[in-house]
Amino acid sequence: MARRKPNWRDQGVRIVHSNQLDLNTPQTPGMTRAAAINRAMAGASKLWAGTASVHPNAKTAPPPPWETGKHHLRDQR
């Protein structure tokens, strides 16, 4: 029996490398966002995943209470 090639758009896991991130996202002073999963890249309407880099000495505030996403921070020193 021949194995079917998985349809990664609809099932499974897809690895998004740093050179594939989409910088065409809303930007704010002191932070750079790059999307790995959004509507343009994966057709996602209720999910966003990517990276957010805070520039040195940037002024930041806590997220508003209606934001429910998990934020994972890593010291990049």
The answer to whether position 3 is within a domain reads no
Q: Yes or no: say if 34 and 20 are a contact pair by the CB < 8 Å rule.
A: no
DSSP-H helix ranges across 5-63:
39-42
Q: Yes or no: say if 71 and 63 are a contact pair by the CB < 8 Å rule.
A: yes
The answer to whether position 45 is within a domain reads yes
Give the whole-angstrom CA distance, residue 29 versus residue 59.
9
User: 1-57, pLDDT tens digit by residue?
Assistant: 667 777 766 777 778 899 999 999 888 888 899 999 888 877 888 888 888 888 888
Q: How many domains does the chain have?
A: 1
The answer to whether position 61 is within a domain reads no
The answer to whether position 42 is within a domain reads yes
The structure's pTM equals 0.58
The mean pLDDT of 68-75, rounded to a whole number, is: 56
* Between 58 and 77, residue with greater pLDDT: 58
The answer to whether position 41 is within a domain reads yes
**Could you tell me the residue range of the domain that residue 42 belongs to?**
18-54
The answer to whether position 7 is within a domain reads no
* Between 58 and 19, residue with greater pLDDT: 19
